[in-house]
Structure 1
Amino acid sequence: MFQDERVISIMQYLKENKRITVDEICQRFDVSRDTARRDIVKLEEQGKIIRVRGGAILPTLSKEMPNFKERLQMDTEVKKAIGKLASTLIHDGDYLYISSSTTTRYTVEFMNSKQNVVITNSIDLASLLVEKEGITIHMLGGKLFNEHGFVYGTKAIEMLSQYYVDKLFIGTCGITKDGLSSLFEEESYLIREAIQRADQVIVLADHSKFGKREFHQMAGFEDIDLIITDKEPSPEIIEQLQKYNVEILLANDTEKN
């Protein structure tokens, strides 16, 4: 087996097992320890792994984030199912904050309630909301993140601090046993303020977000009430959710019924 073939197999193993040792590479591919070490060095140079004593692990910190349009094309059916279920939690007359997210976008698409007041920092969500009758929209002001289509900054936080809402709908880049994390530090500050302003905090996240850790800690499980997803997370995360009485709703279960 050539090195390029081995490193692909090593990455597949790491995605399933999170860690691989030099001895395991030797046994699995019938190569010497020197060859196994060279494979690890190559993967490290490519930025795909972190070398540790005796082997390698996958980086726990995710650094890549496609722009809004690219993310909108990913796992579309799953996000639609989550968004559709989330929309059933919105009642006539509810006051809402809906954050910028490709999954919360589908919540807005499926909304059929009336007389709602909606606060958002997303220009995409605001454009969808104007097509619905009887919705009062409060668009936060501040600095616009062009690539991802959301407003952030001190002015946005200051404006949000003047409101209270019944329900908060947020997306997240990652969920681990430590809580929610985001690649966008500035928007994390905005969401933290929104959490303080909401009676109920609802997180929308497909299964790919579980086990992923991003740069900035956004919220702990003590800050949220409900997670809507499509698959159950790991036992380790479930244990933490139960500790803080966070409910899980599975969109796929609802679709089957």
Structure 2
Amino acid sequence: MLSKRHVDILEILEAEGAVTISALAGRLGVSLETVRRDVKPLTEAGTLLRIHGAVGLAGRIGEAPFQKRMRENAEAKRAIARAVAATIRDGESVMFDTGTTTSFVARELMRHRRLTVVTNSSDIARTLATVNGNRVYMAGGELRSDSGAAFGKSALDFIAQFAVHHAIISVGAIDEAGVMDYALEEAEFARLVLSRGERRVVVTDHSKFGRRGLIAVAGFDEVDEIVTDRAPDAVPADRLAAAGARLVLAG
């Protein structure tokens, strides 16, 4: 039987991955010894693993950072993905950059048929390559260990050959100046993806608004739609509309 504190510990680890014993004690407002007693039966049962003064869920130790990010704001990302998938018709072409929200969109497209998909994301390629007569084109180059996505000149040259119905990117930050990211290669790739679509779509949950990234991806005048789960305070819809971008709220 799990106590209330056992449940709290599992919920913290589910959300955050491995956490130190001292951090757990602080979060729960109990002593280090109390936390050690609480985690002991869970580790003995194989539910948790102890690693260097910390504990984590057994199935999550060694998990790639991309998979951890897939769990962050998952319900919001799923709602955004459903809204975008509903606007894409069978037989159309879609280009994706790599990102957790675009990966959610790919999962919502698994019931679509005869799609042509262009991406640098191995996760998106695997999701859509073997279902319903789709054609998937995967950009080559060096695969990043954290995301399983290809970047570099060869990846850029590859996607520059395509023109698609829908260009869909996810981003790390949106402020009053536009859409931004934190990594140069990801920003370059996303910028090129947008330029290849008849319809240019940014998908992002509300937590990215009001952040200032390191590298500009696009101004609002270079985007047709921003699909999110909640109306942002930091970037009002009328400001987006003035630049020609439409704010779409999922759900």
- TM-score with structure 2 setting the length: 0.71
User: 2:187: which partner in 1?
Assistant: 188
Give the Cα–Cα distance (whole angstroms) in 2 for the partners of residues 195 and 102 of structure 1: 17
Report the equivalent of 2:161. 162
Q: SS in structure 1 opposite 2:216?
A: strand
Superimposed CA distance per residue, residues 2-27 of structure 1 (whole angstroms, 9 cap, x where no aligned partner) = xxxxxxxxxxxxxxxxxxxxxxxxxx
> Residue 87 of structure 1 is aligned with which of 82, 85, 88?
85
Give the partner amino acid of 1:69: Q
2:68 is aligned to 70
- 2:97, 2:193 within 8 Å by CA — same for their partners in 1? no
Q: Could you tell me how far apart the structure 1 residues matched to 2:133 and 2:143 are?
A: 27
Q: For 2:132 and 2:217, how far apart are their aligned partners in 1?
A: 33
2:220 and 2:235 map into 1 onto residues whose CA distance is: 13
In structure 2, the residue corresponding to 1:149 is in which secondary structure?
A: coil
Q: Could you tell me how far apart the structure 2 residues matched to 1:180 and 1:87 are?
A: 22
| Cα deviation 1:66-106 (Å, max 9, x = unaligned) | 92111111111111111111111111111110111111111
What is the RMSD of the two structures over their aligned residues, measured on CA atoms? 1.4
SS at match of 1:147: coil
Counterpart in the other structure of 2:140: 141
SS at match of 2:189: helix
| 3-state SS in 2 of match to 1:163 | coil
Aligned to 1:57: none
In the alignment, what sits opposite 1:230?
Answer: 229
Q: Are the equivalent residues in 2 in contact too, given 1:202–1:225 (CA < 8 A)?
A: yes
The residue type paired with residue 108 of structure 1 is A
Q: Select 2:99's aligned residue among 98, 101, 123.
A: 101
Unmatched runs of 5 consecutive residues or more in structure 2: 1-63
The offset of 1:239, in angstroms, is 3.5
1:236 shift after superposition: 4.4
Alpha-carbon separation, structure 1, partners of 2:235 and 2:126? 39
Shift in Å, 1:188 = 1.2
2:106 partner amino acid: V
Please give the residue correspondences for 1:1-257 in structure 2 after superposition, counting only pairs within 5 Å: 67-111=65-109, 112-234=111-233, 236-252=235-251
Which amino acid in structure 2 is aligned with residue 125 of structure 1? I
Q: Is the 8 A contact 1:176 1:237 kept in 2?
A: no
* In 1, Cα distance between equivalents of 2:227 and 2:247: 6
Partner of residue 11, structure 2: none
Counterpart secondary structure, 1:133: coil
Structure 1 CA distance, aligned partners of 2:217 and 2:244? 19
Give 1:235 shift: 6.2
Q: Which amino acid aligns with 1:83?
A: A
1:184 deviates by 1.5
CA-CA distance at 1:250 after TM superposition: 0.9
Give the number of aligned pairs: 187
Matches of 1:67 and 1:175 in 2, distance apart? Answer: 22
- For residues 144 and 180 of structure 1, do their structure 2 counterparts lie closer, same or farther at Cα, with a shift above 3 Å needed? same
CA distance in 2, matches of 1:68, 1:185: 18
- Give identity over the alignment, percent: 29
TM-score by length of 1: 0.70
SS in 2 for 1:201: strand
**Aligned-pair CA distance for 1:237:** 3.7
Amino acid at match of 2:146: E
How far apart, CA to CA, are the structure 2 residues paired with 1:236 and 1:214? 14
Distance 2:207 2:71 in 1: 14
| Structure 1: gaps (5+ residues) | 1-65, 253-257
